[in-house]
Amino acid sequence: MATITHASPARRAPDRAVVRHRMGRVLLYALLVSGCLATLVPFVWMVLGSFKSSREIIRIPPTLWPENPTLASYQTILNDPKLPLGRFYLNSFIVAGSQVLMILFTSSLAGFVFAKYRFFGKSALFGFILATMMIPAQVTMIPGYLMLARLGLIDSLWGLIVPSAVDAFGIFLMKQFIEGLPSELLDAARIDGASEWGIYWRIILAQIGPALATLGILSFMGSWNSYLWPLIVITTHERRTLPILLTWYTSVHGSRTDLEMAAGVLVVLPILFVYTFLQRWIVQGIALTGFK
């Protein structure tokens, strides 16, 4: 081998380059695939745990693969009278759904106004909106709670929805997007006798579908996964959202890892399911906006 390559130096260089390239490729894929496997380990371990029986899961040494796979832990959770799981899904859904609708409406409307109209104090107002994005949620958390208490919204789903109906980031995103639309479109509509509201409702909204989808999905996930605020605001069991439910469940059945894992699967699954369908939008949205 060495003699052959030595004998034909003209061919040696490309060959070695090709080999090195191939080796590099193999190494690259090996690294990426093992990284993927490592990423999946926690999911797999949780799912495996959820199929172990309550006796198997506490066995020492632990088993890797469930010896007698059982759905008992899922049955326990789904039949638990103190745990109407459907209720918690519904709560999460009500909160996330109404938040998304309100954020989409307010963001697109304000974004439209800031993008396409000139008026007194515009840049100051927009600056104010951007500045509010800098305020960390922890700073306004305590007064926010006190305000809800005064409004009688503590321990109600309204308390989760109302404070976040207007979203500074959403306004910013929509303004950026709508600025890219041609203004001739609006003028044409005005000549045809459309009102300003009509322009927003019929023309702008029809043009910003992708931006609405992106903002909608990001807001939905943010709301669906949010933890700290519901933890503070909600005190009655029936009004909890899914994430709070899971920790409550853990604190009640602390030692039952099998139930915990089944509950974990039930909480994590819906979002991952949605993700498989909306992957493109979610990834695009984050890449585009840089926000979680």
Partner 1 sequence: MSALVKVVQNRWRRAFTGSKRGRSLFVAGALTPLMLYMLFWTLLPMVWAVVLVFFEYSATRRGGAILGLGGDNPFVGLGHFKNMLSDSLEAQKFRTSLKNTLIFAFLVLPLNLVITVPLAVAIEAVHERLKAVFRFIYFLPTLTATVGVATMWGYLYHPQQGLFNMILKALGATPKAWLTDPRAFMSSVSLAMWAIIFAYLWQDMGYNLVIFIAALQGIPREFREAAVVDGASVWQIFWRVTLPLLQPTLLFICVMTMLSSFQVFDIIQIMTDGGPQDQTRVMVLDIYLNAFRFQRMGWAGAVSMALFLIVLVVTIIQMRLLRTQWEY
Residues 127-166 that bind partner 1 (CB under 8 A): 128-129, 132, 134-147, 149, 162-166
Residue 7 contacts partner 1 per CB under 8 A = no
Residue 223 contacts partner 1 per CB under 8 A = no
Number of residues that bind partner 1 (CB under 8 A): 94
63-102 positions binding partner 1, by CB under 8 A: 64
| Dihedral angle computed from the Cα positions of residues 136, 137, 140 and 142, in that order, rounded to the nearest 10 degrees | -130
Q: Which is nearer to partner 1, 78 or 162 (CB)?
A: 162
At 188, phi and psi to the nearest 5? -60, -45
Q: Which is nearer to partner 1, 4 or 13 (CB)?
A: 13
CA end-to-end span of the chain? 55
Among positive and negative, which fits the CA dihedral 69, 75, 80, 84? positive
Residue 28 contacts partner 1 per CB under 8 A = yes
d(CA 73, CA 91): 23
Span of 72-80, 83-91, 202-210, 244-252 interacting with partner 1 by CB under 8 A: 244-252
**Measuring CA to CA, how many Å separate 227 from each of 155, 157, 233, 243?**
14, 14, 10, 6
Kindly state the smallest distance separating residue 264's Cβ from partner 1, in Å: 4
Kindly state the smallest distance separating residue 29's Cβ from partner 1, in Å: 7
| H-helix or E-strand spanning residue 45 | helix 9-50
Kindly state the smallest distance separating residue 4's Cβ from partner 1, in Å: 25
d(CA 141, CA 228): 9
CA angle 275/279/280 to nearest 5° reads 160
Span of 71-79, 81-89, 126-134, 204-212 interacting with partner 1 by CB under 8 A: 126-134
| H-helix or E-strand spanning residue 268 | helix 257-289
Q: Which is nearer to partner 1, 5 or 140 (CB)?
A: 140
Span of 27-35, 93-101, 174-182, 206-214 interacting with partner 1 by CB under 8 A: 27-35
Residue 247 contacts partner 1 per CB under 8 A = yes
Among positive and negative, which fits the CA dihedral 56, 60, 62, 67? negative
Among 201, 232, 237, 253, binds partner 1 (CB under 8 A): 232
Q: Which is nearer to partner 1, 11 or 122 (CB)?
A: 122
Residue 229 contacts partner 1 per CB under 8 A = no
Residue 4 contacts partner 1 per CB under 8 A = no
d(CA 63, CA 66): 7
Q: Which is nearer to partner 1, 161 or 212 (CB)?
A: 161
Q: What long-range pairs does 143-151 form, CB within 8 A, spacing at least 24?
A: 145/232, 145/233, 148/233
Residue 190 contacts partner 1 per CB under 8 A = yes
Contact 143, 210 (CB under 8 A): no
Among 60, 82, 123, 206, binds partner 1 (CB under 8 A): 60
